Chains A and B, each alone.
Chain A
């Protein structure tokens, strides 16, 4: 079975820039972007430990493209 491609999306209009995801990511997949919001640097480094999702107080990190589509209208 083909391995599922890794997907991580940060919904900026829900994000309040607490930066927990940037600070606590053990593999530095996420960094602070130029606009002050978190940005994914290198998704291939991600080991899917899901710590960023567990620690996001805003529910702003999404791991399914379909969910992103559903939520983008809100």
Chain B
């Protein structure tokens, strides 16, 4: 069946079960990414998965695509290099909220600004899971973490607002619970020319739950399900009512020029001007 196609893509050399905790949403998002790539008919040889460091960034290790497991926060920078060297490739970046927005924050906004044809999936669980529960830039005010024992006082990034403002062509948000919607958004993102950012709210039933008393894995998943509202619904609510909600949907879908296309035009122009000079 189409839904469990991931079994054909698992890396044969890897030991399973994987490293993620019971009830972690990362496996759900990874299988949605694989289904999206498969249903678009992209072969293993024309797709590259790029990741940084973190729980989420373990994902490319388990699936049999050409992959680059880079340094912390630099996934989008490496991916930009891959795409520039070979624009034919489909590049999918797997990054976390800490990896992509804190350490790699500059790469994130500049990739959006350049609007290069990459699809970035941000696994957003509001916490640094791998290093012991420090708060990340997407943690809500008054949530707790290992480095916020009295509650977080910093306002969080809204990944979708940030990406749309910085100029990405396709920006959407889904959750790990809404796996089928998530698959649809990733598919649209890969098919879209230009940078696509898909923000995925995933549960961290180990550390986030421990510091915030958010319950076991099913409680976290149900809380994500119950807090989710669509963009249309969110427009009718006031800011105070929206505070605790997860707004899902497509935030931006537009056609700004794509970077590798502009770059090859520039190359053509440069070659022509050199030729003209030679003729003179």
Which residues of A come within 8 Å of B, CB atoms?
A: 13-20, 23-24, 48, 50-51, 53-64, 67, 70-71, 74
What residue in chain A is nearest B29 (Cβ atoms)?
A57
Query: Across the interface, do A74 and B217 meet the contact criterion of CB distance under 8 Å?
Result: no
Q: Please give, as numbers and ranges, the residues of chain A lying within 8 Å of B23 by CB-CB distance.
A: 16, 18, 20, 57
Type the 1/0 row for B19-41, where 1 means its CB is closer than 8 Å to any CB of A: 01111111110011000000000
Query: Across the interface, do B7 and A62 meet the contact criterion of CB distance under 8 Å?
Result: yes
- A22 to B183 CA separation, bound complex (whole angstroms): 22
Query: Across the interface, do B7 and A71 meet the contact criterion of CB distance under 8 Å?
Result: yes
- A59 to B6 CA separation, bound complex (whole angstroms): 7
Q: How far is the CB of A18 from chain B (nearest CB, A)?
A: 4
Which residues of B come within 8 Å of A, CB atoms?
A: 1-4, 6-7, 10, 16-18, 20-28, 31-32, 177, 179-180, 183, 217-218, 221-222
- A51 to B178 CA separation, bound complex (whole angstroms): 10
- A24 to B217 CA separation, bound complex (whole angstroms): 12
Q: Please give, as numbers and ranges, the residues of chain B lying within 8 Å of A54 by CB-CB distance.
A: 3, 28, 31-32, 179-180, 183
Chain B interface SS verdict (over half): helix
A57 and B26 in contact, given A13-B17, A63-B1 (Cβ under 8 angstroms): yes
Query: Across the interface, do A74 and B3 meet the contact criterion of CB distance under 8 Å?
Result: no
Q: How far is the CB of B201 from chain A (nearest CB, A)?
A: 14
Q: How far is the CB of B248 from chain A (nearest CB, A)?
A: 16
Q: Please give 14 more A-B residue pairs, beta carbons under 8 A apart, in addition to A17-B22, A57-B20, A57-B23.
A: A14-B16, A20-B217, A20-B218, A54-B28, A54-B31, A54-B180, A54-B183, A55-B28, A56-B27, A57-B26, A57-B28, A59-B6, A61-B4, A67-B7
Query: Across the interface, do A58 and B179 meet the contact criterion of CB distance under 8 Å?
Result: no
Query: Across the interface, do B7 and A14 meet the contact criterion of CB distance under 8 Å?
Result: no
What residue in chain B is nearest A63 (Cβ atoms)?
B1
Query: Across the interface, do B217 and A64 meet the contact criterion of CB distance under 8 Å?
Result: no
